[in-house]
Structure 1
Amino acid sequence: MSEKLPRYEGDFLAWTGGGLFIGCGGGQVAPHAHYAIQLVVGAPSGLKVQEGSRGAWKACAGALVPSRAVHSIDVSDCEWNAVLFIEPETPQGRTLAARLNGQIERLEGEELAIRVDSLGHAWRECRNSKTVQQAAQALVDWLSGTLPHLPSDPRVLQAIEHIRGRAGEPASLEEVAGVVHLSPSRFRHLFVEQTGMPLRTYQLWRRLLLAWEFLMQGASVASAAHAAGFADAAHLTRTCRSMFGLAPSAMRMAGPLSDRLREPPAAQG
């Protein structure tokens, strides 16, 4: 979304290799491109997609946008909408990139509608981040025809835990490789094989996840940036624009998931 859409309100989630904006409101987004492959859906109808900066607007239930493809979306007539990002290096990303071959694909169909409804139900009714993430990932897995893939090598799992324990502070390849007793070159190959992305990209995803978690809890952009290991708010904004095509200030964190995070704990009886 762009900073000209202050009425857009919702939530953000991220996981290894992907992320999701889901919310209500907003309007027409200025033409832009970003590194991640994008899946956008509008419910129950009303989504419009433009290819390039001057292409014709076309209505659809959803659209797959390849990496670095200039496009725009209009969600003015949608009751709610979701924008999912898929890292091109992941198994799902590689499959979708080959399928799209650089062209935007508009999506329709009853099965898509059923899966979008499931995502909407998870977000609005369940109000549970894990359930929403599972519904979003299931939608991507269905479109890509790939099976869910999680790191299973104990050395990679140990490395991931080490990275998470640093609370946003980046770790060098040599440091993480040393933790799991591998050479940097061997660890680099193993990590990409297991996660679908280089260590540096994975760490950036982790820092973005942390930043948006703080934003969903009500933190300012500046404090979220600092807590997640970014140099300042401008650094976080540039990174979000590069990876998602929007700035953190474009979205007001006021969806069911962020509202739940800010609810006071229940009184103990």
Structure 2
Amino acid sequence: MRSLLAAFAALSGLMNISGGAIAQPVQPADASMGDRAVQLCTQDANVDSCWRAGVEAEKRGDAGATLAAYEASCAAGFQMGGCYEAGKIYFLSSKLRDYGKSKDRMMQVCRSPDIGIGPYACKYLGIIYRNGLSGRPRIDQAFEALSRACFTHNEEPFIDGNGCEILADNIPSADEMGTSEDFWQPDYVAYLALTRGCSDDMPALCDRALNIHRQAVGKSANWLARCAEDTQAVGFSGKCEDLARSASPAKFEQRQAFRRNLVRMFYRATEYAG
């Protein structure tokens, strides 16, 4: 923390402080840093001056100043961009890695209403829980976070397609979910997740979804009947297998309507309570 505070002090000497309304800090990494951030950062269009300083420091290759600026932006609380960028640094940087802090930052963003970066933060949070990078592995919390990345973060609906892929590859078993195998069908949930991810311009996920469906047909899987029932219930005009073939409509409005149908099917498939 000492090196981060030193970088923050250097940053404050370089920035041009302007007047303006200052937000209260949001879970600052350090109390003194939070106080300084409130004095240092000013709102700048839809971001803030500290976030812009972080972008410039990143261009210069100054990792310490970059992290300090993003942490200051996060603490100032104008927007979620600083929290997200700080969380990525804590996750990805070999020198500054701290999965506990990454979890804290990504949790802030995942729980926020920011539809642009919220789903991406939920994906990182899900990976941290899944792999036990900050404590023991938590399959239930990983499923919740990855479900938010793919299905439930916002009503627009905007998603992280890669988060959908990771969700599909990590559907918990019935035992892990504490439910009946008759109800819980991991392949069905994976099929929906891959189809949803495909709608994010990831056509390879449609191929994977169709492969799951073909295997289910070959095994006469029970979930096919549920999928047929659910497609009818949400008003989808095609059959279950047509979902994966319909995931990339050309028009934005059609894509979003298709995604909303998938959300309703996801809720029906999981009785997911959020």
TM-score (norm 2): 0.24
Question: Which protein has greater RCO, CA pairs closer than 8 Å, 6+ apart?
Answer: 1
TM-score (norm 1): 0.25
Indicate the structure with greater strand content.
Answer: 1
- Structure with max Cα Rg: 2
